[in-house]
Homo-oligomer: A and B are copies of this chain.
Amino acid sequence: MDNESAFERSCCPITNGLDIFGDRWTLLIIRDLMLGKRRYQDLISSPESIASNILADRLKKLQITGLIHRRAYQQNPARYEYVLTEKGKDLKPVLDAIIGWGRKHYPDTMVFTPLNSSRHLSPDLP
């Protein structure tokens, strides 16, 4: 199913994972998509203030690695939304584990709540 062989640094699954999402931004984008955000502006407006060039770069890489899918939700003008693939959604246990660790050792942190994004006309949210 996946055909991305030849691992960059080693065949360790952790290493391989970090080669995909081991940076300060990628998992935050995954988090936002998991919470129901879909559009570029939604992602830009998160409280961490990601720079637009970084966001564009990460969205491209996430498509290449198959964690997200980009689709036009309208034409004239073309507007795009980003949705998690199954492979992307499968990162939920990773995010949950990080949240669990964070909440335990930094009790002042607060978990973000899913968007009530009825405007997206989507039946279910993660």
Contacts and interface: CB of A to CB of B under 8 A. Distances in A.
A57 interface: no
Contacts of A10: 46-48
Interface stretch (A21-29, A37-45, A75-83, A118-126): A21-29
Contact of A2 (B96, B100, B106): B106
A64 interface: no
A94 B21 CA distance: 13
Contact of A14 (B11, B87, B95): B95
Q: Copy number in this complex?
A: 2
A93 B95 CA distance: 10
Q: How large is the interface on A (under 10, 10 to 19, 20 to 34, 35 or more residues)?
A: 35 or more
Contacts of A93: 97, 100-101
Interface of A: 2, 4-5, 7, 9-19, 22-25, 27-28, 31, 46-49, 87, 90-91, 93-106, 108-112
A12 B101 contact: no
